[in-house]
Amino acid sequence: MVNSDADATPQMTPPRDSAFRAEAWINSVELESKLDKCMTLIGNPNPHFESSEVLSKLYWPEDTHQNESIILDEVCKIAQIDPDASRHAPELLWYKSKGTSRYKIRNVPALQDAKHVKPSSRVLTIIVFRNLSPITVLSGKEFLDAWWQIAIASLWNRGVRHRGVSLGNLTVYRTRGRFVGVLNDYDLSWRKKDSPSGVKRTGAVPFMAIDLLVPEDTMGKVKRAYAHDVESFIWVLVWICLRYEDGKPLSKNRPLEEWLKLDAIECKNKKTYFWLVGFIYSRPSGSHEASWDLVKRCSAEAYSIYTPFGYRKLADHLAFNLLLEGPMQDGES
């Protein structure tokens, strides 16, 4: 799965448009709730959010994937008993799922260009969230602080495996004069107690751990580990420092551009080469220069996991200490 537009701000549609557009596209799906129900909060609103703005996400995940609303419900339960987790959790306001088939989706007029699609069960899903800003709007210490908050607030050790960390799902909101980081988009996630039934590679290739960019992962033969998600956090850090200036993508000569067009194996080779040689010639943008030393320390430790004898498997706490906590503490000493 290649992300062809990784620097684009994720486009979500206001709840009213999403609901009516879905009804127009797929006549067989009747959405029982209108805008008033979309705006009804599930549970108590997060007191940390100052904005009342909301966005909706409409998509058709395969029914072999765990429903994102189930994952978000688990995240909300954790947030209710953990005050710190509540600050870094997305706020689910409303959701609706309705099954349909990929054949019907393919024959929607707006999707007529979807060719060679085999019949398979899909689930029309609409999820309404509190509006958040992409982390790329930040620079300097504010950016690094938000990135660190998100990286250490991962709920992997609480039984929620994100498995899709990428540029688009690191988000922030402002409260009491400070930006707070939130890891969003749990559509590729699983709970620890559930066993994934699909075998497809999941994630955006430019940000996936190198260990996953192999055919074996497509066949479900690579066991996902916390270290894989941590490496994705590091690749996002590299990406933003090299390609963003003062909260905006560089207008030209953006490094790593070709990664967006490569398949998994080609991207694996390019990323390995970047670790070995690319860092020597790479320079961050001016607004992210303060983060570059941490980028290099984190990347060096991530590279150390790859040995001539294969990928070094780490226990979760060791992965955290080696790849995140250690490099951060070295910069503070």
| The predicted structure's pLDDT at residue 75 | 78
Cα(85)–Cα(331) distance, integer angstroms: 25
Beta bridge partners of 125: 59, 97
- Note the pTM of the prediction, 2 decimals: 0.78
| Predicted confidence (pLDDT) per residue in 111-142, tens digit | 444 444 444 577 778 888 788 999 999 999 99
Does residue 150 surpass a pLDDT of 60?
Answer: yes
Q: What is the pLDDT of residues 61-72, one digit of tens each?
A: 776 666 777 777
pLDDT of residue 318: 94
Top-ranked range on mean pLDDT: pick from 9-23, 62-76, 294-308: 294-308
Question: Are residues 43 and 76 in contact, defined by beta-carbon separation less than 8 angstroms?
Answer: yes
For residue 288, give the nearest of 240, 226, 219, 216 by alpha carbon.
240
The whole-angstrom distance between residue 12's C-alpha and the CA centroid of its chain comes to: 15
Mean pLDDT score, 193-211:
71
252's CB contacts (< 8 A; 6+ apart) are none
Q: Which of 186, 170, 226, 205 is nearest to 66 (CA)?
A: 186
- CB count within 10 Å of CB 123 equals 17
Cα-based angle 227, 231, 232 (whole degrees, multiple of 5): 120
pLDDT tens-digit map of 286-302: 999 999 999 999 999 99
**Which three-class secondary structure state does DSSP give residue 123?**
strand
Q: Is the pLDDT of residue 202 over 80?
A: no
Q: Torsion angle, CA of 149/152/156/158, rounded to 10 degrees?
A: -90
Helices 226-243 & 140-152 angle (0-180, nearest 10): 170
Structure tokens at 95: 């959701």
What pLDDT does residue 44 have? 43
Residue 157's pLDDT is 65
